[in-house]
């Protein structure tokens, strides 16, 4: 049963007050909302919109964003209750430790490490690609040998970006917040410009049919099974794209665009009034980005027929404006995306360090990694190590198919958090809750079911990679983490004292 031992809420909160592990409280509700918006408006809106429309949903990509946003909204309510009840760094990892036990907490923490590390590296690579577009033809054009790890020697801009962001993250949460506020403001202006200017070039005929009829996928053969949603195999459905199934498959794909709000929960210990501000920050950020995503997707598919969108185009918004004779807007979008991806990478990097910090403080990772800087009060050791690892990944590894791998990890975390709300309501009804999920257990169950169904709409090869990563995590847990757990050590001391 020690595999399912839980860490009490009181102990989790007490750990935050240890001087050598304490974080500085600097964030308010405005900072939290902007963190959520800042991390959400990135590759999802600038890249995945066109790809998902061209390959799965057509104009109904707007519905895909709505479905993904609704799933996130249900999970966001569960996150908000947990974050206001357990204002401790670690997000889904900490919540799971308090409700479902140590083994599941370790698995979800291991899962979040993959999500944030891979996500930060992938988005740094996207930044490098947009930077190359912006500088192309100028004196500062980046030589091919150092512009990409695929076809070149190293992706130098991506690696340098991560190292620079590591320094900013070590420098304090308020410094990170100020940088995020400035760049997020610029990103929102670019997105609004896309919606307003693009609306003048929308052709209603491009939205017909709004949900394209289902059709067989291009190509064929057994190999395609690995690249189709596993829900088709489970229920014996004919392999297809578009149609209603395509809308849900696209929702699972564009879910990558919503991973930001759970990062907000990782900053719980650095929020001045977490019980009040965390629910507002999480839900506020999610509502704003969902509206922006749906507006952009309607504009992009209205300007250009979904059949004409190149699914491999890394800059579909810019291409759409080029197609209607507005290359100036295309350049503006490229610059906005380039700048915007900076803070997305930074916030994912920050989220990873806070999760690893919480795991280290619990002894599941080496405790020395959770030491905080004596001046900045940030977890500088784990931040520097994480920054170096992510910089190496971004600089030397071509990261082309990572969005779905990040999605499945995020959805798995949402499922466990949703279940955790029900468990904590039953096991600790006495806890003060500044925010309460309505209609428990119906709403959390609905959240878990929808998130799991979206997981089933991801491809078989994504599931295989995810399960392999989790298997590695289980091995690490039994070889190291279980024996070094602080909770386990205190249990052994209690048993020894009774004897």
**What integer pLDDT is reported at residue 83 of this predicted model?**
79
Structural domains of the chain, with CATH:
2-498 (1.20.1740.10)
From the list 73, 43, 50, the residue with the least C-alpha distance to 344 is 43
Per-10-residue mean pLDDT of the chain, 499 residues long, equals: 81 79 78 83 73 88 91 87 81 87 92 84 82 83 79 86 92 78 86 92 93 77 63 70 87 76 73 82 88 92 89 72 84 81 84 90 92 86 94 78 68 89 91 87 94 86 88 95 90 68
Residue with tokens 């963190």: 35
Query: What would the DSSP string read from start to end of 379-439?
Result: -HHHHHHHHHHHHHHHHHS---S-HHHHHHHHHHHHHHHHHHHHHHHHH-TTS--SS--SS
Tokens of 480: 């190291």
DSSP, collapsed to helix, strand or coil, labels residue 12 as helix
Q: What angle do CA 50, 126, 403 make, to 5 degrees?
A: 60
The Cα–Cα gap between 146 and 138 comes to 16
- Residue 222 is predicted with a pLDDT of 46
The C-alpha atoms of residue 414 and residue 39 are separated, in whole angstroms, by 17
pLDDT for res 219: 58
**76 to each of 51, 117, 121, 252, 322, how far by Cα in Å?**
26, 22, 25, 17, 37
Q: DSSP letter at 159?
A: H
Q: Is the dihedral of CA 224, 228, 234, 235 positive or negative?
A: negative
Contact 58, 212 (CB under 8 A): yes
pLDDT at site 399: 55
Instruction: Give whole-number Cα distances, 36 to 60, 96, 185, 187, 339, in Å.
Output: 25, 22, 13, 13, 16
Express each pLDDT in 356-375 by its tens digit: 999 999 999 999 998 888 88
């Amino acid at each position: 049963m020690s595999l399912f031992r839980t860490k009490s809420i009181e102990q989790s909160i007490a750990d935050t007050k240890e001087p050598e592990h304490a974080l500085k409280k600097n964030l308010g509700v405005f900072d939290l909302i902007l963190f959520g918006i800042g991390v959400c408006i990135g590759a999802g809106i600038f890249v995945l919109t066109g790809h998902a429309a061209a390959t799965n949903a057509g104009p109904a990509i707007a519905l895909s964003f709505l479905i993904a946003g609704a799933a996130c909204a249900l999970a966001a309510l569960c996150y908000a209750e947990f974050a206001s009840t357990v204002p401790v760094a670690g997000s889904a990892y900490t919540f799971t430790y308090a409700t479902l036990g140590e083994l599941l907490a370790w698995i979800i923490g291991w899962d979040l490490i993959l999500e944030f590390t891979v996500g930060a590296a992938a988005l740094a690579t996207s930044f490098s690609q947009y930077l190359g577009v912006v500088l192309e033809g100028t004196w500062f054009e980046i030589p091919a040998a150092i512009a990409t790890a695929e076809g070149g020697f190293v992706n130098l801009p991506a690696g340098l970006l991560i190292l620079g962001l590591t320094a900013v993250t070590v420098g304090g949460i308020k410094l990170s917040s100020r940088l995020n506020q400035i760049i997020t403001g610029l990103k929102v202006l670019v997105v609004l410009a896309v919606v307003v200017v693009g609306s003048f070039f929308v052709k209603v005929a491009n939205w017909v049919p709004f949900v394209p009829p289902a059709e067989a996928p291009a190509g064929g053969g057994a190999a395609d099974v690995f690249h189709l949603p596993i829900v088709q195999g489970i229920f014996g459905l004919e392999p297809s794209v578009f149609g209603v199934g395509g809308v849900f498959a696209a929702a699972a794909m564009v879910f990558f665009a919503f991973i930001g709000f759970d990062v907000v929960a990782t900053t719980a210990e650095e929020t001045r009034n977490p019980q009040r501000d965390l629910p507002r920050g999480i839900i506020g950020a999610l509502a704003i980005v969902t509206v922006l995503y749906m507006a952009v997707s309607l504009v992009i598919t209205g300007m250009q027929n979904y059949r004409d969108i190149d699914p491999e185009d890394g800059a579909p918004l810019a291409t759409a404006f080029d197609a209607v004779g507005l290359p100036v807007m295309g350049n503006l979008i490229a610059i906005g995306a380039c700048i915007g991806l900076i803070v997305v990478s930074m916030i994912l990097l920050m989220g990873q360090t806070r999760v690893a910090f919480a795991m280290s403080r619990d002894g599941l990772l080496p405790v020395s990694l959770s030491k905080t800087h004596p001046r900045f009060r940030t977890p500088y050791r784990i931040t520097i190590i994480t920054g170096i690892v992510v910089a190496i990944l971004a600089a030397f590894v071509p990261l082309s198919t990572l969005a779905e791998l990040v999605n499945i990890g995020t959805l798995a975390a949402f499922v466990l958090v949703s279940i955790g709300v029900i468990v904590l309501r039953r096991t600790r009804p006495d806890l003060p809750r500044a925010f309460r999920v309505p209609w428990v257990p119906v709403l959390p169950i609905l959240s878990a079911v929808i998130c799991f169904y979206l997981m089933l709409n991801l491809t078989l090869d994504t599931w295989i990679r995810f399960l392999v990563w989790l298997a590695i995590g289980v091995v690490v847990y039994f070889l190291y983490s279980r024996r070094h757990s602080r909770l386990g050590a205190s249990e052994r001391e209690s048993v020894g004292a009774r004897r």
